[in-house]
């Protein structure tokens, strides 16, 4: 299997969580995507992601998890971190290097706070600790674009 790329799906309590895995390194790296994951999940992207991040594949076993579907309307980045912790436990992933991008960085911060034994190292990219006015305005504009059909995933 090229890059050991694998597309997977966890089924729990009436929800599904898509994930991908690639690489064969001895350490785990979990990449948590941003808000765009709600528009297009990682389903079926194992091989393209493995190719794009092939430099990581020899040092790490790389995992990327989408948010569970359906996602509760009252879900928070904290509850998403708990979902990720359950997924890690289900797949036997112990401590990992965590890379969180955008909203994924917010989830990563909660994972580090609530489940410190799962986080070996934490890398935050283009993120914040909590939504500020600029972020709220931007997200409202993105939602408007999606509702008008002006966004393509």
* pLDDT, tens only, 60-100: 999 999 999 998 999 999 999 999 999 999 999 999 999 99
Percent of the chain at pLDDT above 90? Answer: 71
Please tell me the distance from the alpha carbon of residue 19 to that of residue 25, in angstroms, as a whole number.
Answer: 18
pLDDT surpasses 80 at 153: no
pTM value is 0.86
Nearest alpha-carbon partner for 41 in 21, 17, 61, 57? 17
Amino acid 2: pLDDT? 64
Per residue in 102-124, pLDDT tens?
A: 999 999 999 999 999 999 999 99
Percent of the chain at pLDDT above 70? Answer: 95
Mean pLDDT, rounded, of the chain: 90
Amino acid 43: pLDDT? 95
pLDDT surpasses 90 at 13: no
Amino acid 22: pLDDT? 97
DSSP string, the chain: -GGG-EEEEEEETTEEEEEEEE---SEEEEEE--GGGGTS-STT-HHHHHHHTGGGTTTEEEEEEPPPBSPPTT--HHHHHHHHHHHHHHTT--SEEEEEETHHHHHHHHHHHH-GGGEEEEEEES--SS--HHHHHHHHHHHHHHHTT----
Which residue in this structure is represented by tokens 């112990």?
94
């Amino acid at each position: 299997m090229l890059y050991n790329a694998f597309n997977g799906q966890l089924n729990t309590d009436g929800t599904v969580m898509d994930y991908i895995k690639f690489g064969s390194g001895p350490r785990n790296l979990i990449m948590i995507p941003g808000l765009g994951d709600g528009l297009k999940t990682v389903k079926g992207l194992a091989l393209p992601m493995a190719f794009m991040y092939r430099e990581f594949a020899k040092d790490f076993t790389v995992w990327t998890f989408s948010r569970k579907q359906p996602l509760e309307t009252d879900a928070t980045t904290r509850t998403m971190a708990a979902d990720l912790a359950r997924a890690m436990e289900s797949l036997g992933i112990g401590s990992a290097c965590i890379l969180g991008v955008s909203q994924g960085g917010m989830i990563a911060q909660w994972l580090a706070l609530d489940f410190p034994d799962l986080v070996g190292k934490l890398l935050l990219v283009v993120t914040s600790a909590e939504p500020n006015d600029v972020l709220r305005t931007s997200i409202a504009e993105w939602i408007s674009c999606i509702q008008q059909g002006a966004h393509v995933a």
